[in-house]
Amino acid sequence: MTRVERAAIVDTRLQALYPDPPIPLDHQDSYTLLIAVLLSAQCTDLRVNQVTPALFQLAASPDEMSRLAVEEIREVIRPCGLSPRKSKAISELSKILVEKYQGEVPENMELLEELPGVGHKTASVVMSQAFGHPAFPVDTHIHRLAQLWGLSNGKNVVQTEKDLKKLFPESRWNALHLQIIYYGREYCSARGCDGTVCEMCRELYPLRKSPVKLKKP
């Protein structure tokens, strides 16, 4: 089976399982999504969704957030981990949005990546989920599944993103990103499947007997 054939199976199966995948991070607009995605680094979406209501009650706009002390932000987001770094980034990017972009989140990948604490993956999520632009954000979970399913042999998330974009039509990128995440959580978790257990892995590699040795990003 070729990589293209495996991609076609993945596309069909995931579309059937998750025809309309919801955005997992609770948010009201592009700004609150940006903050939620930033907080999700090395933290579960569930935990982020537990923390953001209290944060957004204090400040739900760049102007309001820029007026809070970093320590006040840090105290609220502490359960998400990395709170010193994240609180500083949230404060600084909020001030930049007020001073440079009239309190609006820029609808531009390069400008987003210039903001403190916003890397390529975070910017891709915002471009995709807030603004509807085609993007294929790749985190460690998607990187792992792409290897298990033989869609990429990339040594890092950058190469994996390039491989996935070549395999799937641009019109499917935004949904597929979410569909892969949901499938991984439900059927092919890091603890639950080593490449030989879940239905997708077994369909794509019916003769595979040994666990897959993964290239960590």
State yes or no: is 139 an active-site residue: yes
By the 8 A CB rule, do 97 and 75 touch?
Answer: no
What size, in residues, is the chain?
217
Contact partners, residue 38, CB within 8 Å, separation at least 6: 86, 89, 90, 93, 117, 118, 122
State yes or no: is 26 an active-site residue: no
Catalytic-labelled residue, pool 26, 63, 121, 216:
121
CA pair distance 211, 149, nearest whole angstrom: 12
By the 8 A CB rule, do 39 and 51 touch?
Answer: yes
Catalytic-labelled residue, pool 20, 88, 100, 139:
139
Burial bucket for residue 99 (CB in 10 Å: 0-12, 13-18, 19+): exposed
Residues annotated as catalytic (active site), given as ranges: 121, 139
